[in-house]
């Protein structure tokens, strides 16, 4: 079960109640959104989208456009994560601000940013670049946090003796990075990169098909293709688009992620051989081929040696570490005062803007929040109802696992947002269809987190406990009550936290939708955000976005985090 064990390396940060850092962080988030909204004032009232062709031959080009966006965002994410994580891991001062910031940012529903980012960017940049950049920023924000977290976690858990060895043998920063930190973090980084890509597809699709009112922000890509196909009710094109998407995902899996995983197995810290290490036919092929070995030897190693020679200087020549530079506190204070003033001014402006929001709209936001919360809960309950039995089946039954696991992996890799237009087409004519569709989208986007966690939990139930419960002749009911459910509890909570986060996130695209030039919406805060974007009601946009973010962060802190801590303390079997 190494697949599932690896995927959930990211843990929730240690329990904290609100601290001063949270206040600062929330102020910064408010400021950020305010800035976006402020910029949005100048956004063009109509945005013409690209004309999207439904001819099958455009699919490869659209696919490349989509993958290109993903790749650009991923490279950004990785670079950002390496810098941010290292700063947080090695500088205590920085850590005190960076980790709470990370904590809030990763629980913020990213899609609620989408309208603000799109409008803000299209004010300051040319149209084509703005939309492209907005998509990349959005994907970036969905990919980056778990990468930062796993990198930070790796850096802070490098075994003490490896750190000491690299110090006593006088590795410099570069050699330490390349010979210790990166290899140690490699497996976690690769698993989390896979997760980031899976999450990224979801947001890419959402970003590619975003249209509100007269503003058409669509981008040439697979998501837009599917959206257009659904608008025109062209079922052939829909099938073609989905096939292309699945193909791209499978190709990436087979030619990028599987080989990387097989290769990265060498970075395990385990001192025993793995019984069934991850395998990849493509990687095995590469290893056997002369050409790749030649390339490896002459290109990769030669390059590394060259870089090493450049960056590793004989350490003996280095003088003893200089005394700490004399500090100039006044410069720091001046900077702090300046930043503080800007923040306060921004907050004051944001406050003024919020004051102008009429009471009726506030109550609309409150109703919306309640409605969306209800949808999130329903989606979560439905997901739990089917993932627990199926997850336990896969996790405890090797035969079921071999059949179901690949199916589940492929199903899980298709971004729900890509299927949404199609789903809508089917459900729209039913009574309450849009409500159903909204819940379904949330469900499709989130059930996999739960399923994978439950599989991991079921697989982790110790064999001896299973034997014992059999020896005691516990009835099926008793076995579930005394063994399986308690053992699963921490995993269910971990999965549910991610799942509910995902569900909130999906609400912006799930509750308001334009298909064939017609807008459909249900009551909900996501719909409010989208509608405010469409009508150019920036006060409402700011208020609704803030309302949603604060609600989600509060629910996380006050509810999920406590439950998580309980689960970790009482039921963790490791």
- Residues at the contact surface with other proteins, assessed by CB under 8 A: 159, 161-162, 164-165, 167-172, 175, 179-180, 183, 186, 266-273, 305, 308-309, 312-316, 320-321, 570
Distance CA 230, CA 96 (A): 48
Nearer to other proteins, 267 or 480 (CB): 267
Q: How far apart are CA 344 and CA 24, in angstroms?
A: 11
135/122 Cα distance (integer angstroms): 12
- In the complex with other proteins, the residue whose CB is nearer, 170 or 470, is 170
Min. distance of Cβ 133 from other proteins in angstroms? 38
CB 147 within 8 A of CB 77: yes
Residue among 270 and 463 whose Cβ is closer to other proteins? 270
- Smallest gap from Cβ 161 to other proteins, in A, equals 4
Query: What contacts 503, CB < 8 A, 6 or more positions away?
Result: 375, 376, 379, 380, 442, 443, 445, 446
Nearer to other proteins, 173 or 402 (CB): 173
Instruction: Choose between 96 and 268: whose C-beta lies nearer to other proteins.
Output: 268
CA distance 237 to 230: 8
Radius of gyration of the chain (CA): 25
Those residues whose C-beta lies under 8 Å from the C-beta of residue 196, and which sit 6 or more positions away, are: 74, 77, 142, 143, 144, 146, 147
Decide whether 324 or 429 has the Cβ nearer to other proteins.
324
Closest distance between other proteins and the C-beta of residue 304, in Å? 10
CB of 94 to other proteins, least distance (A): 21
Query: Least separation, in Å, of the C-beta of 159 and other proteins?
Result: 8
User: In the complex, what is the shortest distance from the CB of residue 267 to other proteins, in angstroms, rounded to a whole number?
Assistant: 5
What count of other Cβ atoms lies within 10 Å of the Cβ of residue 129?
12
For residues 538 and 545, give the distance between their C-alpha atoms in angstroms, rounded to a whole number.
10
Q: What is the DSSP letter of 47?
A: B
Q: How far is the CB of 183 from other proteins (least distance, A)?
A: 4
CB of 194 to other proteins, least distance (A): 20
The answer to whether 255 and 273 have CB atoms below 8 angstroms apart is: no
Q: Which is nearer to other proteins, 75 or 165 (CB)?
A: 165
For other proteins, the closer CB: 83 or 269: 269
Structure tokens at 443: 């469900």
* Both tokens assigned to 299: 């290109």
* 164 or 214: CB nearest other proteins: 164
Question: What is the C-alpha separation between 348 and 472, in angstroms, rounded?
Answer: 66
CA 470 – CA 354 distance, rounded (Å): 61
In whole angstroms, how close is the CB of 185 to other proteins at the nearest point?
Answer: 11
Helix ranges restricted to H, 91-210: 92-107, 114-124, 127-157, 160-168, 173-176, 182-208
Reduced DSSP (H G I as helix, E B as strand, rest coil) percent helix, strand, coil of the chain, to 5: 80, 0, 20
């Amino acid at each position: 079960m190494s697949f599932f064990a690896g995927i959930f390396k990211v843990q929730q940060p240690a329990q904290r109640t609100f601290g001063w850092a949270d206040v600062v962080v929330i102020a910064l988030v408010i400021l950020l959104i305010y800035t976006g909204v402020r910029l949005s004032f100048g956004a063009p009232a109509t945005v013409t989208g690209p004309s999207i062709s439904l001819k099958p031959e455009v699919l490869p080009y659209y696919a490349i456009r989509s993958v290109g966006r993903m790749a650009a965002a991923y490279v950004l994410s990785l670079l950002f994560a390496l810098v941010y994580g290292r700063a947080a891991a090695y500088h205590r001062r920085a850590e005190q601000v960076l980790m709470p910031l990370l904590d809030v940012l990763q629980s913020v529903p990213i899609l609620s940013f989408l309208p603000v980012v799109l409008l803000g960017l299209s004010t300051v940049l040319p149209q084509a670049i703005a939309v492209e950049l907005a998509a990349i920023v959005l994907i970036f924000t969905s990919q980056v946090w778990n990468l930062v977290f796993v990198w930070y976690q790796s850096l802070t858990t490098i075994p003490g003796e490896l750190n000491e060895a690299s110090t006593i043998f006088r590795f410099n920063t570069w050699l330490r990075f390349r010979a210790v930190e990166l290899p140690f973090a490699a497996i976690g980084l690769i698993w989390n990169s896979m997760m980031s890509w899976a999450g990224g597809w979801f947001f890419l699709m959402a970003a590619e098909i975003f249209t509100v009112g007269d503003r058409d922000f669509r981008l040439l890509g697979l998501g837009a293709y599917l959206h257009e196909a659904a608008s025109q009710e062209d079922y052939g094109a829909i099938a073609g688009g989905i096939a292309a998407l699945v193909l791209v995902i499978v190709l990436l899996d087979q030619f990028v992620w599987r080989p990387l995983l097989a290769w990265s197995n060498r970075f395990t810290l385990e001192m025993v051989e793995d019984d069934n290490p991850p395998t990849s036919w493509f990687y095995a092929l590469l290893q056997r081929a002369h050409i790749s070995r030649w390339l490896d030897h002459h290109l990769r190693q030669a390059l590394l040696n060259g870089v090493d020679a450049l960056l590793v200087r004989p350490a003996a020549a280095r003088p003893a570490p200089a005394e700490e530079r004399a500090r100039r506190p006044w410069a720091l204070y001046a900077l702090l005062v300046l930043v503080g003033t800007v923040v306060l001014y921004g907050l004051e402006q944001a406050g003024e803007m919020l004051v102008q929001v009429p009471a009726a709209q506030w109550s609309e936001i409150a109703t919306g929040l309640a409605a969306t919360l209800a949808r999130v809960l329903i989606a979560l309950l439905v997901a739990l109802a089917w993932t627990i039995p199926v997850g336990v089946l896969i996790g405890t039954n090797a035969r079921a696992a071999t059949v179901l696991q690949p199916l589940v992996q492929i199903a899980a890799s298709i971004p729900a947002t890509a299927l949404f237009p199609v789903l809508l087409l089917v459900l729209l004519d039913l009574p309450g269809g849009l409500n159903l569709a909204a819940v379904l989208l949330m469900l499709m986007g989130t059930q996999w987190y739960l399923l994978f966690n439950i599989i991991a939990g079921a697989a982790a139930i110790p064999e001896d406990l299973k034997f014992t419960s059999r020896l005691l002749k516990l009835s099926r009911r008793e076995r579930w009550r005394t063994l399986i459910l308690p053992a699963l509890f921490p995993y269910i909570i971990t999965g549910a936290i991610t799942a509910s986060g995902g569900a909130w996130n999906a609400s912006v695209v799930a509750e308001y939708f334009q298909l064939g030039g017609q807008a459909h919406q249900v009551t909900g805060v996501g719909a409010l955000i989208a509608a405010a974007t469409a009508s150019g009601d920036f006060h409402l946009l700011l208020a609704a976005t803030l309302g949603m973010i604060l609600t989600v962060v509060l629910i996380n802190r006050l509810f999920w985090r406590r439950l998580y801590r309980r689960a970790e303390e009482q039921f963790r079997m490791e």
